[in-house]
Amino acid sequence: MAEPRSDDRRDDGPPTPSSLVALEVALLASAEHVASSDAAVALVVASDDDERAYVADALRQRADLVVVVVATVAAALEAAARQTPRVIIATHDTRVVVRHLPAVAAVLLSDDTSAPEAVDASRLAPIVVLRGAFRGARLLEVVATLIGERERAD
Alpha carbon distances (Å) from 60 to 78, 108, 120, 137: 21, 18, 29, 12
Provide the domain limits for residue 73: 39-153
Q: What is the band of 152 on the pLDDT scale with cuts at 50, 70, 90?
A: very low
**pLDDT score, position 35:** 47
**pLDDT score, position 123:** 75
Whether 28 maps to a domain, the answer reads no
pLDDT, averaged across the chain:
80
98, pLDDT greater than 70: yes
| pTM exceeding the 0.75 threshold for the entire prediction | no
Distance CA(97)–CA(73), nearest Å, equals 6
Whether 87 maps to a domain, the answer reads yes
Whether 73 maps to a domain, the answer reads yes
**pLDDT score, position 133:** 86
How does pLDDT run across 21-70, given as a tens digit for each residue? 666 666 666 555 444 557 899 999 999 999 999 999 999 998 889 999 99
Instruction: Evaluate whether 41 touches 85 at the Cβ level (below 8 Å).
Output: yes
What is the number of structural domains in the chain? Answer: 1
Average pLDDT over residues 132-149: 89
Whether 10 maps to a domain, the answer reads no
Amino acid found at 118: A
Of 10 and 62, the structure prediction assigns the larger pLDDT to 62
Whether 102 maps to a domain, the answer reads yes
Distance CA(137)–CA(31), nearest Å, equals 22
**pLDDT score, position 151:** 47
Find the range with the poorest average confidence among 16-25, 78-87, 135-144: 16-25
Whether 7 maps to a domain, the answer reads no
**pLDDT score, position 120:** 63
Whether 34 maps to a domain, the answer reads no
The domain that holds 117 is classified in CATH as: 3.40.50.2300
Whether 21 maps to a domain, the answer reads no
